[in-house]
């Protein structure tokens, strides 16, 4: 992501915020990436856990650029961005989505689906290092730990449903307005 690509979107838009976040990830600017999240999210999952998820996906973030398919306003300041990381050298991780909440004039990430894979991988690695660092394959216990961590974001979103206007939001059908990459 270049500054010019990010500047193609208005500075106060959710897409600008999302692409700035992605640029932080590409340059392994973990503190900038963490700052892109809602502070409640960071508190819930833990800053170290979040950074470990970024680190687990570092090679992917360096090589891939998000191609944005849709930007959908869901109401109550919440916007969903559907995208896929594309690259000539990195394999795609498939279609992804991110939810950004507009609070006090700032867009903050509340969910990034790609991080489920980062939480899984980093937790498996950490657990395996404790269980048997010399093992050539992951143990069942490390796999179960990773599978549990993969649901951190869902657990966080569950806390929001009961405490925020998010509960009143009805997801739109698949007929949301398409936004092609490079268009506002």
Q: DSSP 3-state assignment of 96?
A: strand
Q: How many domains does the chain have?
A: 1
In-domain check, residue 183: no
pLDDT of residue 180: 44
In-domain check, residue 131: no
Average pLDDT of the segment spanning 42-65: 94
In-domain check, residue 66: yes
In-domain check, residue 15: yes
Phi (first) and psi of residue 143, to 5 degrees: -65, -45
In-domain check, residue 36: yes
Helix axes 114-131, 152-163, angle to 10 degrees: 130
Distance CA 150, CA 72 (A): 25
- The gap between the terminal CA atoms of the chain, to the nearest Å, is 17
Distance CA 147, CA 117 (A): 9
In-domain check, residue 122: no
In-domain check, residue 129: no
Higher-pLDDT residue of 62 and 175 is 62
Dump pLDDT digits (tens) for 71-118: 999 988 999 999 998 876 666 778 999 999 999 999 999 999 999 999
Domain that holds residue 33: 3-114+152-168
pTM above 0.75, yes or no: yes
In-domain check, residue 38: yes
């Amino acid at each position: 992501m270049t500054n010019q690509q990010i500047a193609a979107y208005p500075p106060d838009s959710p897409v600008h915020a999302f692409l700035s976040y992605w640029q932080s990830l590409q340059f392994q600017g973990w503190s900038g990436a963490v700052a892109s999240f809602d502070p409640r999210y960071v508190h819930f999952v833990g800053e170290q856990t979040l950074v470990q998820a970024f680190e687990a996906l570092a090679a992917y973030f360096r090589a891939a650029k998000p191609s944005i398919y849709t930007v959908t306003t869901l109401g109550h300041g919440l916007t969903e961005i559907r995208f896929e990381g594309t690259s000539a050298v990195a394999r795609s991780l498939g279609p992804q989505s991110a939810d950004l909440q507009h609070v006090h004039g700032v867009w903050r990430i509340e969910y990034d689906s790609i991080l489920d894979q980062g939480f899984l991988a980093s937790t498996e690695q950490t657990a395996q290092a404790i269980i048997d660092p010399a093992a050539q394959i992951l143990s069942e216990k490390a796999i179960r730990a990773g599978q549990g961590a993969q649901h951190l974001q869902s657990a966080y979103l569950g806390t929001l449903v009961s405490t925020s206007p998010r509960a009143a939001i009805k997801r739109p059908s698949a007929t949301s307005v398409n936004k092609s990459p490079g268009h506002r």
